[in-house]
Amino acid sequence: MSVTRRTYRYNILWNAALIHRLSGIGLVVFLPLHFLVLGLAIESAGKLDSFLQLAQMPVVKLAEFALVFLLVVHLLGGARLLALELLPWLDGQKLLAVGAASVAALVAIIFLIRVL
């Protein structure tokens, strides 16, 4: 039952938890596709090649860009949480979370520039 707006949610670390959850789900969805493509390589080189042709399409490249972001943001965000739970407390968690997202964005953009 909600009697009032939940404005306190507009909080960086709340959103960091959300991004961590969504990026995790995104990666879980991606993994079966990834194995499918690997399976193609085992099955026949021809099929793999035609698939890799497909991977030249801009929309696929954009999807790869998103994937790289998800991967890095989940990796760094997870490292932040592990450190938070296993090591002595560190102030500045907001800064660390923003840093993780920024590094992930940077890596993804560099990746995009290189494949375009």
Partner 1 sequence: MSNASDVLQVSLWRGGAEGGFKTYEVPLRPNQTILDIVTWVQRNLDATLSYRFACRVGMCGSCAMMVNGHPRWTCRTHVAKVAQKGVVEIAPLANMPIIKDLAADMRQFFDKWVVAHGAFAGSKTRADEIELIKPAEPARVAVDAAIECINCGICYAACDTVRWNPEYLGPAALNRAWSLNNDVRDADHAGRLAAVSADGGCHNCHSHQSCQAHCPQSLNPTRSIAGLKRLSTQAYLRGDLKP
Residues of this chain that interact with partner 1 (CB under 8 A) are 1-9, 11, 13-14, 17, 81, 84-86, 89, 93-94
d(CA 116, CA 108): 12
Taking the C-alpha atoms of residue 49 and residue 68, their distance in angstroms, rounded to an integer, is 22
Judged by CB, which is closer to partner 1: 85, or 113?
A: 85
Taking the least distance from each CB to partner 1, the nearer of 34 and 94 is 94
Q: How far is the CB of 79 from partner 1 (least distance, A)?
A: 13
**Torsion 78-69-30-111 (CA) sign:** negative
Q: Determine phi and psi for 56, rounding to 5 degrees.
A: -80, -15
Shortest separation between residue 106's beta carbon and partner 1, angstroms: 24
**Measured from the CB of residue 83, what is the shortest distance to partner 1 in angstroms?**
10
